[in-house]
Amino acid sequence: MEIIHQLVFKSREEPKLFQFLESTGIKFKAVKLPDNSGLYVSAQIEESNPAWSSMSRFIDKENILHSFETIFSEREILDAEWLRVVNVFEHGYPQPENEWIKKPNNYGEFCASCGVFKQTKPYYIFKEPTLGKNKFMSLIWTGDSLFTVPEVIEALKNNQIKGIEVWEVMIHKSKQPARSIFQIFIPEITAPSLLDKESLAKSTCSGCGVTKYEYHRYGKMFYKQNGIPQGVDIVRTHEWFGSGHLAYREILISNRLAKIIIDSKWKGLRMKVVQLIM
């Protein structure tokens, strides 16, 4: 497990940070801003890097905003009983784009205050998507939506993966099903089982009363083992996550499905370890 921190900034706005990076020898990339007023800088550092201790102190002292993420090794993933999957390829918006975010046409229940929803109909998209080397994708704004190509659907069926429904995705203009992708709809929901929720920031919606937790970025997710339904390979959490108007349930997959994804070299997802507790 490796915690990777990412910093992106303009040198004119964070001169102390830029000087610090230069003085410590931490690798960074920099390009000139169009108006020649400075540099656009990006730097990435792992917590295992000996320079992280001084970087951490500097970030805390100067209150530097940055992002970070936990990356698990393939061995850690293969040894885990259950994993959390994260979409890493977003492509396009649900349609009609100028109306959907305020009034989603495929949700039977929707809270306009926090974004909590229940999907009852297929998504509409602008056109057939181009996934490149990816086998999975999501739509911008849609949280836990998961789409894939016919090749993957066929493989999941052949391997008797349990817990999925295959839904069509509709082309907005033609009102015809897309040929290149399908939605993997996940009907199974866990029992309330999140164990590390006290370490996560949270907010409760004044409109619907649902509590949402912040995105898991640091380390493992801890979850009750008996909260996961038996006999399935993919589920969504009872708990909701996100901020503002974005709401989603985390997608959890079995070790069996994770092995298929790795063995097949399917791209578009990142897998993170879930620590199950009795």
Predicted local distance difference test score (pLDDT) of residue 217: 81
Where in the chain are the domains?
A: 2-71, 76-277
| pTM (whole model) above 0.95 | no
Predicted local distance difference test score (pLDDT) of residue 278: 86
d(CA 269, CA 278): 28
Predicted local distance difference test score (pLDDT) of residue 47: 92
Span 2-71: which CATH code?
3.30.70
Q: CB of 248 within 8 A of CB of 189?
A: no
Predicted local distance difference test score (pLDDT) of residue 154: 97
Residues (pLDDT < 70) of the chain are none
Predicted local distance difference test score (pLDDT) of residue 35: 82
Q: Which amino acid is at 53?
A: S
Nearest residue to 170 (alpha-carbon basis) of 139, 144, 143 = 139
